[in-house]
Amino acid sequence: VADEEFGMDVLSTQREVEVSNFRKVPGLPVYGMCQPNRKGLEKVIGLLTGPKYAHPRVVVVNLREDLVIDCDGETFSPRELKNISEHMPYKGLNSAEIEVYVDVNSTHETREFSSVLTMREMFDEQMRRTPLLSYYRLPAPKDKAMEERDFDHLMNIVSSLEEIYTDEDGPALVFSCESGKERTTTAMVAACLIYCNKKGFPAGTKPDEQDPACVPNAKYTLGEFSVIRHLMRVLPNGPQRKREVDYCLDKVSETMTPMHYHAREVIFSTFHKYKYGCSDVPRDEKLDLRKRSLYYLERYFYFILFNTYLNMERRSKWDRSFSQWMTEVA
């Protein structure tokens, strides 16, 4: 099924860069977008290395778990006929195998293409034309927190970029998933935390620098859940670590206002749908909402832990990985 069959360009960026939902975090070289095709990728790389942004290097991180191929400039992924809105998971495949795995099923329509590329082949082709480009795969779950090893992988990617200290703007870090929404937002927030801990948090993260909230259920939309309050009490300078996470969440949310998605506020809004949604909603769907709200809460919990790790291990230049820190310290 073609990715663009689902009309995902909520931010209306196709006209400019031929990629849906392309966006930048204000003040940071962190970007997000939908799955690019070969033309869109070329356009984005040209924009980021051109005079408008002038990044010395571009690093693209593909967060999709499913198989994706580019057929004559259009991206496709296999779906089951009974549920074409969800991708087919490939459990047990590593990131190299999933790039070239081919699943053969009977189809109702045969289409012929002159050129078919896996994502690795598409990026290899672009890297030959643009040596400043690097490509990584970091398969991530759609609605859940990143695993500890994924935080480590992302940390290693950013730490390997020497330009982060030598260039004022630094290398562009671009994340993509199918819609450019859930997984991309999660990785963008993690990248913002890494950048800010390496180069310093800007104004807006101190207690007297944040605007008071004047909205219904403010304590929940601001992340004041009981488990989060407990976490803040047991972590060193926990309230400040949470404020820094909230700063990054708010900055990333600014890039996607029309998508109505805030990685902190979605915790309460999803639980509210479960608790007070329509009575005729099937029980399975309601339970799924509850499960998703808990996944979102876990993600927020992990952001605060990860930010605490980044702060505590700064003096050692993060010699200890996040996975090790979670075992030995947390």
Q: What is the pLDDT along the chain (330 residues), one digit of tens a residue?
A: 676 655 689 999 999 999 999 999 999 999 999 999 999 999 999 999 999 999 999 999 999 988 888 887 788 887 666 666 665 655 555 555 545 544 444 455 667 777 888 899 999 999 999 999 999 999 998 888 999 999 999 999 999 988 776 666 789 999 999 999 999 999 999 999 999 999 888 877 777 666 544 445 666 778 899 999 999 999 999 999 999 999 999 999 999 988 888 999 999 999 888 888 767 778 888 899 999 999 999 999 999 999 999 999 999 999 999 999 999 997
**CB within 8 A of 28, min separation 6: which ones?**
192, 195, 196, 251
In 3D space, the residue among 68, 16, 30 whose CA is nearest the CA of residue 184 turns out to be 30
Q: To 5 degrees, how large is the angle CA 86–CA 121–CA 84?
A: 10
CA 273 to chain centre: 24
Share of the chain residues as helix, strand and coil, in percent rounded to the nearest 5: 45, 10, 40
Q: Are 24 and 16 in contact (CB under 8 A)?
A: no
Domain 13-176: give its CATH code.
3.90.190.10
Q: Are 294 and 247 in contact (CB under 8 A)?
A: no
Domain with CATH 3.90.190.10 in the chain: 13-176
Cβ-based neighbour number of residue 114 at 10 Å: 6
- Whole-model pTM? 0.87
CA dihedral 311, 313, 316, 322 (to 10 degrees): -130
Write down the pLDDT at residue 275: 83
**CB within 8 A of 49, min separation 6: which ones?**
55, 58, 130, 132
C-alpha separations of 64 from 57, 144, 184, 233 in Å:
22, 13, 9, 35
